[in-house]
Structure 1
Amino acid sequence: MAGSSHVADSSWEQELNKMAEQLKIFLHKNGKEKDPEKSASIFHQMGLLYKDQSKQDDSITKKLSLIRSAALLNAAVTRQPGNEQFKQSLKDFCSDLLKTAGAKILDADLLKIAQEVKEMAENMRKQTNESLQRIKTIPYDVTIDEQKELEAKKIANIKTIQAQITENYKNMMKFVSKECEKIMGNSPCKYSITGMGSLARCEITPYSDFEHIILLEEGGQEKDNYPEVLEYFRWFSVIFQTIIINLQETIIPSVAIPSFNQVTKPGEKEFFDAFTKRGISFDGLMPHACKLPLGRMEKTERKPWTTELIKPVTEMLTYLDKVEDLKNGYRISDVLMNTCQVYGDEQIYQQFSESVRNVLQSDQPSHHERLLQQLNEDLTNFHALNSLNALGIDSKCNIKRLVYRTSTLFISALGRLNSIDDGSSFAIIDQLNNNNIIDDETAHLLSYAVAVSCQVRLKVYMEKESQDDYVGEEQLYYAFDNKVYANLIDTVGERSMVDYFAIVYNLQDFLRNEDDLSNFSCVDAICCFVFNIPCNYKDKKRLNISIPDTICLAIYERRENKTV
């Protein structure tokens, strides 16, 4: 039974598999729940079982079991918010977690803390939505000078919005960090909560994951109490994650429940939590994710190693070149190259960021080769033209892949190839411009592409009130009879959408055909090959950028050929 604390490992796993099998009764063929209220009891039982089993687990597995228990119990509460038993189970779980973690404040209210964070998030989302509504679309019937002025306003507005979101998001995570420190007691050493991903790029959304690491002060690894120091921050991270899970915006698949995969037969679709509105959460526990302090705690047959992202600076830096850790479904070295300080000791963060900067600016052949390898992979995986052509037959599209990454990935690559480590795409462009690698006109066009991509992603998320990247419909009945094209155009306006793809198409085309990317530092080359703009700017005339017919057909719902 779920309430027994003496269930043998094989027995409790069988019980979990049995519950996961029962869940299938309440699922559609696509893996989504028919009636979430009915599946809630299964999640509740599984959550209690994970909590109970954690008492028998070793130190590492115990933490995973408790995180999974938190997610499952919250899933039950969100599906039956009036169920007092479910709410009491979640409250009891939070209390027991503090005892297990050896917290100093055992009566801390993790649910109340989460509610305060949720209120902060709601204010951030309201502010973002209001700011987005004030941005006007750019029509066709304007002069070139008027068009450029409107584009400049859009760039400035999006920069401001992204900066506001970034600041609000950091403040939320600072608040949670301070609460965790209070709960666990004074930290045994100096440390830095360091953000990664879109937060470090100043391109985060009000519904984004919190990707982060914990940097420890140097020298602690030589002391006798180092194991206790690590345990403090591991439990710090578990409590932090539990507070975030208590926001009830964490989808169940992100905690990687093994039994959901073990009962799935070939050809069957796995359970997908379509009920939970995906919002602020931590990076998932799936083997291809784990960009969080606890890191990758479970080995797989294909990748038999673990990673932990709670380390002193010098040990964290080893991940930049560690062969077995270069790829977990992502490159650890890549995510560690772009970080930001969130909370804690500023000097520790500065020491780490300066060391990373030295690696970035070094002439190590291996580092440069990896950059070029990643660039070539991205040019294949995020090929703007191929993605747009697929829209002719697909009924849905992923705007993060189609719009956001088709520009930002390659601007990041330009920055790294020129030893520029500024976080945001806008900052990279500005630095390229300041270093005379690109001219003002090229910088404007690249910045405009980034502004459009950020605007699309923000507006789609805000409209859905979730980190849902898809626009379109489940099924396409007639050619050009879906909402993908209309949704994309309605989001930012027809002209902006066309301009965006014209810019990224030519940018990618240049990167794909240039043999020696290490020499990507010539203004004339960028102007001539990327944007087809004459290098002679004496007449100051801004030429229109042509766009391939295939892109036009993919963007527009109607079948007529259009150019910018």
Structure 2
Amino acid sequence: MVTPVTPLTGSLPKVHAPKAFHVLLVEIQSITEKTPLQKLAQTLSDLTASISNLDQQQMRKLLICLPKTLTHANSLKKEQAELSSALGNWNLERSLREAMHYCAIALNIEETQERHEWVSSIFIRWTLEKAVHKSLLEHAYRMADPERFNTILDDLQRLKIFCGVQKDFDALIDQAYQALTEDPRESRLQPFEVCTEKLRSIDRTLPQSGYLTQKYQTALENYRKQFETSDPSEMLDHFKELFEVFLEDAFLLVGPPPCGYDLRALGSLAKKSPCPYSDLEWFILIEDKKHLPYFQNLAEVIELQFISLGETAPGVSIPVFTALGPKHRSGLHIDPGANPALESNTVELISEPAELASTISVENSNNNDDLATSLLQSVSLKTNDSSLHASFQSQIDPEVRKKKALEAIEARKALYSQTWTAAPEHLQEYNLKTEFITFLNFLISDFGLYFGMDITSPEAILQKLNRMGILQDIKLIKQALKQLYTMRIQLHLQAGEQKDTAPATSLAPNERTFLCMTYRFILKPLYNCIDKVLERRAINLFTEALQVNTKEELKPLTKSLVQAIPKNTHTPEKY
């Protein structure tokens, strides 16, 4: 039996008689922009006090009406934080994932030590509900292995950092005692006398340390500060250090890994260009599929840790709490398209090497092609067996790899034609990701996959294409990659969230010139000669630029181009 986490009640309003739900629902639906703020605050307080009494059907009705009400209550931070807390409490018995969303929202609206304690307690509730350590102890008991039992008891004591209140740790100890009573025969218990003695002597005093959520927030803040001082090439390593903070706690909650594993990232991390508010796309290679439940648990815990940061947009199931802004916050979260914690993804995203290689075969090419292609280009975040990824890659037929790359390139060419319908000089707003990075960084990665390269960094792929004699000069492209990355980092830091758009008026003249130059001298000529690249023919982008742009289009950029590239680089003739 799981000891329930104490609901957060200290910050909830005190009312003597909660209104009937149907009355509250009518009041909520009657709220407009003309509703007095005091009346609106009282309605939210009445609603908060009634949340615990709602059934599933009533909650569904409430969540349909609530978003509109919250749009008129953006100044009521205290009331919104209390309402989100109450909704988190309501979900504790139903969905810890939903509860964590609401708890994190409340914490972000109004930070208190009580809320830090409350949100942190969800992690120990998770491990108690899953009976993770109880199962490990029961297995050791069945196997008559008191030494292993004692080791698990040591691990149990390390879970004190997750326990905000005494009864949480007491519940863990109680599960240990339950494991010893599975078969209470004296002959079975005798070898475990040393274990029972250890159980009795365990110090149950909890440490007076900070809460997990505070630790995670501090680690994330320190990671983001690195973007202001570190070389961009170091940011992948800094992300690994951040991920290690989460992973260390996750392993405590789920127990030690039972077999070989490799936790691997996709997307911008695989391309070695994470941004301050980038999300995580990842998958797990495992040695033995019989341990799938363990790694599903690991993925669940890591998702809960990320949600606790309050930067995971929860979708339509959870209303926007406007005290935090007009939309859900979006920062460090796990992308639902590549999240091994989601049941619909576990077949693809937690797999043995041979199984994953099979899903990317030609026969299965219709099973999420974008994801299948991404899985071929990843970077390890943490592994205890690097041979797993090598085994996975070795089982991919080179022709399958080439086919996937070609499909991605053709799709990118079509998207390029749809996107670039206006000259860059005439754009009122620039989107660094959808207009530049998607068509430069991602295309270079596609080339790497097409030519069977085992590297994922666009800069490294460029070097290899250059040595193959395909791209004759890559200095300008490398400079463009670096500048686009720098500009994207600045947009994230300035916005305090994921943001890739910038109005033309907000950019300095040299930044606008750089973007126009990137389009005229790199993107446009490169997309005009993709077939030549695939045929391994030598390409000079400067020469190609002369053919696909007019002199009038290039003339304003010529001076900037000459300044941007080294003097020994072949430059186009003067216009």
Structure 1 counterpart of 2:292? 230
The Cα offsets for residues 28-58 of structure 1, whole Å up to 9 and x where unpaired, read as: 6xxx9565554434433333333222xxxxx
Take 1:247 and 1:321, find their aligned partners in 2: how far apart are those partners?
37
Unpaired segments of 5 or more residues in structure 2? 1-49, 134-155, 164-209, 558-573
Does 86-95 or 428-437 show the bigger shift? 86-95
Distance 1:551 1:47 in 2: 58
C-alpha distance 446-94 of structure 1, shift in aligned 2 (>3 A): same
Aligned partner of 1:459 in structure 2 is 490
User: Which string of whole-angstrom CA distances, capped at 9 and with x for unpartnered residues, describes residues 78-115 of structure 1?
Assistant: 1122494x555424433311211334445342983443
Q: Which residue of 2 aligns with 1:172?
A: 242
Q: Tell me which of 149, 162, 169 is aligned to 1:109.
A: 162
The match for 1:501 is 519
1:431 pairs with one of 458, 464, 479 = 464
Distance 1:547 1:73, change over 3 A: farther
Q: Does 1:200 align with 2:309?
A: no
SS of alignment partner, residue 194 of structure 1: strand
SS in 2 for 1:341: strand
Question: CA 1:192–1:413 in structure 2 vs 1: closer, same or farther (change >3 Å)?
Answer: closer
Q: Which moved more, 1:169-178 or 1:120-129?
A: 120-129
Change (3 A) 1:355 1:34: farther
Q: Which residue of 1 aligns with 2:169?
A: none
| Larger mean Cα displacement after TM superposition, 443-452 or 370-379 | 370-379
CA spacing shift, 1:470–1:40, aligned 2, 3 Å: farther
CA RMSD of aligned residues (A): 3.8
CA contact (8 A) 1:295 1:308 kept: no
Q: CA deviation at 1:337?
A: 1.0
**Shift of the alpha carbon at 1:315?**
1.4
Compute the TM-score of the two structures, normalised by the length of structure 2.
0.67
Q: Tell me which amino acid in the other structure corresponds to 1:428.
A: I
Q: 1:353 to 1:116 in 2, by over 3 A?
A: farther
| CA distance, structure 2, for counterparts of residue 504 and residue 413 of structure 1 | 16
Give the structure 2 partner of residue 24 of structure 1.
68
Q: Which residue of 2 aligns with 1:489?
A: 508
Alignment of 1:24-423 (within 5 A): 24-27=68-71, 35=76, 37-53=78-94, 65-82=95-112, 84=114, 86-87=115-116, 89-104=118-133, 105=156, 106-109=159-162, 112-130=211-229, 161-217=231-287, 220-221=288-289, 226=290, 229-253=291-315, 257=317, 274=326, 277-284=329-336, 289=337, 291-295=338-342, 297=344, 307-321=347-361, 326=366, 328=368, 331-352=370-391, 354-355=393-394, 358-359=396-397, 362-364=398-400, 367-383=401-417, 386=420, 388-389=422-423, 392=426, 396-423=429-456
**Does the CA contact (< 8 Å) of 1:319 and 1:326 recur in 2?**
no
List gaps (5 residues or longer) in structure 1: 54-64, 132-160, 262-269, 299-305, 472-483, 534-543, 553-562
Deviations 1:447-468 (A, max 9, x none): 1221122122111112222212
Aligned residues: 439
Q: Distance in 1 between matches of 2:422 and 2:556?
A: 6
Q: Is the 8 Å Cα contact of residues 77 and 323 (structure 2) preserved in structure 1?
A: no
Aligned residue identity for 1:67: R
Contact 1:47/1:71, CA 8 A, preserved across alignment: yes
How many Å separate the matches in 2 of 1:239 and 1:293? Answer: 11
User: How far has the Cα of 1:446 moved from its partner?
Assistant: 1.8
Aligned counterpart, 1:548: 553
**2:20 is matched with which residue?**
none
Flag the 1:117–1:22 CA change in 2: closer, same or farther, 3 A: closer
Alignment check: 8 A CA contact 1:326 1:332 kept: no
Preserved CA contact (<8 Å) 2:311 2:330: yes
Structure with the largest fraction of helix: 2
- Residue identity (%): 16
Q: Does the 8 Å contact 1:339/1:353 carry over to 2?
A: no
1:428–1:34 Cα change, 3 Å: farther
Give yes or no for the alignment of 1:510 onto 2:515: no
Matches of 1:545 and 1:495, distance apart in 2: 17
Q: Indicate the residue corresponding to 2:13 in structure 1.
A: none
Structure 1 Cα separation of the partners of residues 454 and 551 of structure 2: 32
Conserved? CA contact 2:419–2:435, under 8 Å? no
Give 1:429 shift: 0.2
Say if 1:320 and 1:332, in contact at 8 Å, map to a contact too.
Answer: no
**C-alpha contact 2:430 2:504 (8 A) present in aligned 1:** no
Amino acid at match of 1:454: Y
If the length of structure 1 is used for normalisation, what is the TM-score?
0.68
**Structure 1 position 194, deviation (Å):** 1.3
Which amino acid counterpart does residue 46 of structure 1 have in structure 2? L
Cα distance in 1 for partners of 2:523, 2:432 equals 16
Relative contact order (alpha carbons < 8 A, sep ≥ 6): 1 or 2 greater? 1
- What residue in structure 1 maps to residue 45 of structure 2? none
Find the residue that maps to 2:485 and give its secondary structure. Answer: helix
> What secondary structure is seen at the aligned counterpart in 2 of 1:188?
coil
1:191–1:348 Cα contact (<8 Å) kept: no
- Say whether the 8 Å CA contact 1:200–1:339 is kept in structure 2: yes
Q: Contact between 1:207 and 1:280, CA under 8 Å: does it hold in 2?
A: yes
SS at match of 1:250: coil
Instruction: Note the C-alpha offset of 1:412.
Output: 1.7
Distance in 2 between residues matched to 1:122 and 1:387, nearest whole Å: 40
Instruction: Give 2:225's aligned amino acid.
Output: K
* Rg larger for: 2
| Aligned CA distance change for structure 1 residues 39 and 108 (closer, same or farther; 3 Å) | same
The separation in 1 between residues aligned to 2:516 and 2:331, in whole angstroms, is 30
Task: Give the secondary-structure state (helix, strand or coil) at the position aligned to 2:229.
Answer: helix
Amino acid at match of 2:162: D
